[in-house]
Amino acid sequence: MNNRLRVLRAERAWSQQDLADRLEVSRQSVNAIETGRYDPSLPLAFKIADLFELAIEDIFTNPAKEPE
Amino acid sequence: MNNRLRVLRAERAWSQQDLADRLEVSRQSVNAIETGRYDPSLPLAFKIADLFELAIEDIFTNPAKEPE
DNA sequence: GCGGCATGTAAAGCAACATTGACATTCGGC
DNA sequence: GCCGAATGTCAATGTTGCTTTACATGCCGC
């Protein structure tokens, strides 16, 4: 499960802490998601999509899918 | 986190077991998600959206959001 | 009435998500 | 050179998602 979180965050010049505050999660959670250590829960994914005003599919992509 | 899983399943006349097989999860997981006991993980949400050929947002909705 | 199917739910256990606290590194400003 | 901000990561802990096994219910066909 890849994601464009780091890019979206950079576009807004937010630190991981800034984003964590807006999402009401810890900085470590943001970091873990960005570095791909784990995927967010569905509720958190919704919160992220909401914050960036994008669809979940526009932020997260399933590498196991989309053949080529 | 509400979802239209039961409706989508009914439209196809699938049992919870049928859906569970297609999603490669247990019947109890399908039941738990339908009855709202817990939300699916993001990867499973993608799998569900994929199966029904819908966007995640078309299946799951965040009741905490959208004021009115 | 009995058997089979669909559904709801519970307990117990493991894996994944998320937390706090802490430490290391890098970079830029002063 | 030092300080502070930003990032990466680790350990320990708690919570949630998902599993298997199991049992109870309702419904339908026979």
pLDDT of residue A43: 97
Phi, psi of A51, deg, nearest 5: -60, -45
What is the average pLDDT across A6-31? 97
**Does B56 contact chain A (CB < 8 Å)?**
yes
Nearest Cα neighbor of B30 from B57, B46, B48 is B48
Does the CB of B58 have a partner CB in chain A at under 8 Å?
Answer: no
Q: CB distance from B62 to chain A under 8 Å?
A: yes
Beta bridge partners of B61: B2
C-alpha–C-alpha distance, residues A33 and B15, integer Å:
35
Structure tokens at B17: 């077991």
Q: How far apart are CA A18 and CA A21, in angstroms?
A: 5
Q: Which nucleotides of C are covered by protein (CB under 7 A)?
A: 5-11, 16-22
Using CA coordinates, name the residue in chain B closest to A54.
B57
pLDDT digits (tens, 9 = 90+) for B4-41: 999 999 999 999 999 999 999 999 999 999 999 999 99
What is the mean pLDDT of the segment spanning B45-52?
A: 97
Q: Any residues with CB less than 8 A from the CB of A21 and at least 6 apart, and which? A: none
Please provide the average confidence, as pLDDT, over all residues in chain A: 93
Would you say B17 and B27 are in contact if contact means Cβ atoms under 8 Å apart?
Answer: yes
Rounded average pLDDT over A28-37: 97
- Nearest Cβ partner for A42 among B42, B50, B55: B42
* pTM of the shown model: 0.91
pLDDT at B63: 65
